[in-house]
Amino acid sequence: MTRMLVTGGAGFIGANFVHFWAAHRPDDTIVVLDALTYAGNRANLAGTDVEFIHGDIRDTALVETLLAGRNIDTIVHFAAESHVDRSLHGPSAFVDTNVIGTLSMLNAARAVWLAGDGKPHRFHHVSTDEVYGSLGADDPAFSETTAYAPNSPYSASKAASDHLVRAWHHSYGLAVTTSNCSNNYGPFQFPEKLIPLFLINALHGRPLPIYGDGMQIRDWLHVEDHCRGIAAVLDRGRIGEVYNIGGGAELPNITVIDTLCAAVDAAFAADPALVLRFPGAPAAKGVATASLKTYVTDRPGHDRRYAIDETKARTELGYAPTRTFEQGFADTLAWYLGNEPWWRAIMDGSYRTWVDTNYAGR
């Protein structure tokens, strides 16, 4: 039985992973360590019986106490500052959390797991395809051997953390694996990222701010498929190896946005109750949601294209995404429509203040 420490387990992907793991491995023990930053939300863990520790990954003594005291044998390290736009406004927090925080986790794992004769263990690090930089239209997709070329403070900090994880394996023998995944979407995603932000804006009749020409390309990965991929790495991944995990859905932003607009229109047409719940939505007045599309100044240094070559994960681990983007998006829309209190509480809180300060007029 695994005794697992999940860092960042109150965030979007971490919480989905906790639900996924608890459903598939009910006999395992899960401890969540999360600082509850603006992105962390205890409500994301409702219905689980994990032990929740409100603390910071940079507190190495705390992490050592948890690893030793709870007899943890597996770390799945999600905790991070994760939003590119925020990293452009305040890069220091990204170095503090993503680099210094990962260093702290590695130091604690080394101190506890490699002391004396050592004990069987695994440190799994969750990273991003953004470390590989930006692709041209005809470039081959990112593989695990693509040279790192991060372009934003966020991706630079994640790249640094990946290098630390690699070095702790080669220098000290820590049993690590790393996964670099593409853009996730699904339940519990904080409404600053493209899909939940645009969905909620559409329901309120607010503009949908499309950066630049909207032709940037991302590979979209439903978060449950990502969780399945991490589980495959934990089960079958080779120690010291890196695995790219993608969703097999390389799409220009404008296609994602048009899909979203059409799906919102269809949902209102199919369910008259939505008209009463969201009277500010264009769809409630018979106007196309697409009328909210607004082209705004591009993000500085905006990466043009990400694409994942997941041959290694498919052949070595048997990983394959199970949802098409259309299925995954329909599930996600249904989740946000069915969980209004979840996002309403966030939108009424500090997040709106931050958006109003930094994105006035968007």
Q: Which entry of 34, 130, 162, 265 is annotated as an active-site residue?
A: 130
Residue/partner pairs of 353-356 with CB below 8 Å, 24 or more apart: 354/38, 355/192
> For residues 218 and 182, is the Cβ–Cβ distance under 8 A?
yes
Please list every residue from 249 through 268 that binds ligand TYD, using CB under 6 A.
253
Residue 127 β-bridge partners: 180
- Contact with ligand TYD (CB under 6 A) among 183, 244, 289, 332: 183
Give me the least distance between CB of 281 and ligand NAD, in Å please.
Answer: 26
Q: Show contacts with ligand NAD in window 43-62 (CB under 6 A).
A: 56-58
Smallest separation, CB 274 to ligand NAD (Å) = 27
Nearest in space to 241 (alpha carbons), one of 320, 179, 172: 179
Query: Residue 209 binds which one of ligand NAD, ligand TYD, none, with CB within 5 to 8 A depending on kind?
Result: ligand TYD
Burial class (CB within 10 angstroms; exposed 0-12, middle 13-18, buried 19+) of 360: exposed
DSSP calls for 15-83: HHHHHHHHHH-TTSEEEEEE---TT--GGGGTT--PEEEE--TT-HHHHHHHHHHTT--EEEE--S---
Which residues make beta-bridge pairs with 5?
A: 31, 75
Binder of ligand TYD out of 68, 197, 275, 347 (CB under 6 A):
197
Residue nearest to ligand NAD (CB): 11
Rg (CA), the chain: 20
- Determine the Cα–Cα distance for residues 298 and 294; give it in Å rounded to an integer: 12
* Residue 154 annotated in active site: yes
Residue 57 interacting entry, from ligand TYD, ligand NAD, none, C-beta within 5 to 8 Å by type: ligand NAD
- Closer to ligand TYD by Cβ: residue 218 or 228: 218
271 given a catalytic annotation: no
CA separation, residue 29 to residues 26, 72, 154, 225, 343 (Å): 8, 9, 31, 22, 29
* CB closer to ligand NAD, 32 vs 283: 32
- Binder of ligand NAD out of 178, 184, 289, 332 (CB under 6 A): 184
Select the span of 5-13, 106-114, 250-258, 295-303 touching ligand NAD (CB under 6 A).
Answer: 5-13
Which residues are tagged catalytic? 129-130, 154
Binding site for ligand NAD (CB under 6 A): 7-8, 10-14, 33-37, 39-40, 56-58, 78-80, 82, 97, 101, 126, 128, 158, 181, 183-184, 190
Binding site for ligand TYD (CB under 6 A): 84, 183, 193-194, 197, 209-211, 216, 218, 253
